Amino acid sequence: MREPLSASERGEGPLYWRFSPLERTLHVLVIVSFMGLVITGIPLHFSYAPWARTLVRFLGGFQVAAFLHRVSAIIIFGYFLTHIGYVVYKLVTKPTLAERKAYLFGPDSMMPRRKDLEDLIQQFKWYVGRAERPRFDRFSYMEKFDYWAVFWGVTIIGGSGLLLWAPEFFSRFLPGWAFNIATIVHGDEALLALGFIFTIHFFNVHLRPEKFPIDLVIFTGRATETYMKEEHPLEYERLEREGRLEAREAPPVSRTLYLWSLVFGFAALALGLSLITLLIWTVLR
């Protein structure tokens, strides 16, 4: 069994790059915009809750909340397009077709593979003691699910949000009931997203005993050798086999970056857990 391994500096061995500065920046934007949307959106969705009026007044009133909601949405559209642009750029700059194919469908890609399904099944077998724990490559099936969930969420919530943002414009092309559907979809998808992030994602990435209380790899960008062997053994072995391990070695995390990561990470975690507690209480009340 594994020892607790809660942050990138924990564990042993040299550090290896896991996330690029762009990926880390985008994830910080994901967190900031997501929190902004959640905080300004839940008072509306739960307008009947006793805390809704207080929260919306605290935010500076309904109009300010609505403005911040749209600002957060713009950040999302920004990082979404940046990421897609980046992926497309990387793809077209690959010299050969084989490399392009590997970029899209290889082990380093986010594309779902047959192995992800097998890993999922093996994970459940492991739960009931019928198999060894599945060994993951660069991205586990959970990370891939999170990634595609953002795609799905941004498309559905962002699209419906745009409809509701400018109904007079969109009603030139769409029937009136489209806005009813947009309202239902926007709210329920948002609930799905925040419920998933604040419970499942938080547990998978930060709160399970091996990682508790926080995993800072997404902020510092680098993981220890132990972390790599535990969480992404197939990737580690692949890099070792291909002799690319040394090229991935990273310098130690600066104290400033470490402290900022810690403060930002814990703040987001605390906010998310507080909000989900509040919402669960509101729903069960």
Partner 1 sequence: MRGLSPDATDGVDRHATGELTVMLELSHFARRLPLALCCLLLSAAVVQSQKVMAQDAAAAQEILPGEPPFDCAKCHSRAEFLAGKTDTQEGDAALLVPDSIILASRHDTLACASCHPDQATIYPHEAPEGASRAVPCESCHEVQGTDWRASSHAVNVAEEGDAPTCVRCHGEHAVFSPEDRRSPTHPFNIAELCGGCHADPAIVGTYFAQPERVEAKAPVVQYFETVHGAALTRSGLVISATCNDCHDAHRVLAADSTNSRTNPDNIVETCGRCHVGIVETYEQSAHGVARAEGRRSLNDRPAPVCSDCHSSHSIVRADAQDWFVGIVEECGDCHAELYDTYSDTYHGKVTKLGYGLTAKCSDCHTPHAMYPPDDPRSSVHANNLVETCRRCHEGANENFAQYYSHANPKERTEYPKLFGTWLFMTILLVGVFGFFGLHTALWGLRLVIDRLRAAKEA
SS3 202: helix
Q: Which two tokens stand for residue 258?
A: 């470490």
For residue 123, state whether it binds partner 1 (rule: CB under 8 A).
yes
Helices (H), 128-211: 141-165, 167-170, 177-195, 202
Torsion sign across C-alpha atoms 184, 190, 191, 193: positive
Q: Is 127 in the site for partner 1 (CB under 8 A)?
A: yes
Which stretch, 60-68, 93-101, 222-230, 232-240, contacts partner 1 (CB under 8 A)? 60-68
What x-and-dash track marks residues 208-237 binding partner 1 by CB under 8 A? xxx---------------------------
Question: What are the strands, taking DSSP E only, across the chain?
Answer: 15-17, 222-224, 249-250
Task: Kindly identify the residues of this chain, within the stretch 253-282, that bind partner 1 according to CB under 8 A.
Answer: none
- In this structure, how many other beta carbons lie within 10 angstroms of the beta carbon of residue 198? 23
- Taking residues 35 to 54 in sequence order and writing x for each that binds partner 1 by CB under 8 A, - otherwise, the string is --------xxx-xx---xx-
Dihedral angle computed from the Cα positions of residues 68, 73, 77 and 80, in that order, rounded to the nearest 10 degrees = 110
Number of chain positions touching partner 1 (CB under 8 A):
46
Residue 179 in the binding site for partner 1 (CB under 8 A): yes
CB of 35 to partner 1, least distance (A): 20
How far, in Å, are 49, 51, 198, 269, 275 from residue 281 at the CA level?
10, 11, 14, 18, 10
Cβ 126 to partner 1, closest distance in Å? 7
Q: How far apart are CA 222 and CA 212, in angstroms?
A: 18
Is the Cβ of residue 24 or residue 186 nearer to partner 1 in the bound state?
Answer: 186
State yes or no: residue 68 binds partner 1 (CB under 8 A).
no
Residue closer to partner 1, measured from CB, 188 or 237: 188
Q: Give dist(CA 39, CA 65) in Å, integer.
A: 8
To partner 1, the closest distance from the beta carbon of 53 in angstroms equals: 5
Q: Is 181 one of the binding residues for partner 1 (CB under 8 A)?
A: yes
- Coil, strand or helix at 253: coil
Q: What radius of gyration, in Å, describes the C-alpha atoms of the chain? A: 21
Which CB, 180 or 274, lies closer to partner 1?
180
How many distinct helices (H) and strands (E) make up the chain?
Answer: 13, 3
Compare residues 111 and 191 and give the one whose CB is closer to partner 1.
191
Closer to partner 1 at the Cβ: 47 or 274?
A: 47
* One residue of 75, 174, 262, 275 binding partner 1 per CB under 8 A: 174
Span of 190-198, 213-221, 233-241, 276-284 interacting with partner 1 by CB under 8 A: 190-198
With vertex at residue 15, the alpha carbon angle to CA 13 and CA 17, rounded to the nearest 5 degrees, is 150
CB 136 within 8 A of CB 233: yes
**Under rule CB under 8 A, which residues in 194-213 are in contact with partner 1?**
195-196, 199-200, 203-204, 208-210
* Interface residue list for partner 1 (CB under 8 A): 1, 43-45, 47-48, 52-53, 56, 61-63, 123-124, 126-128, 164, 167-169, 171-172, 174-177, 179-181, 183-185, 188-189, 191-192, 195-196, 199-200, 203-204, 208-210
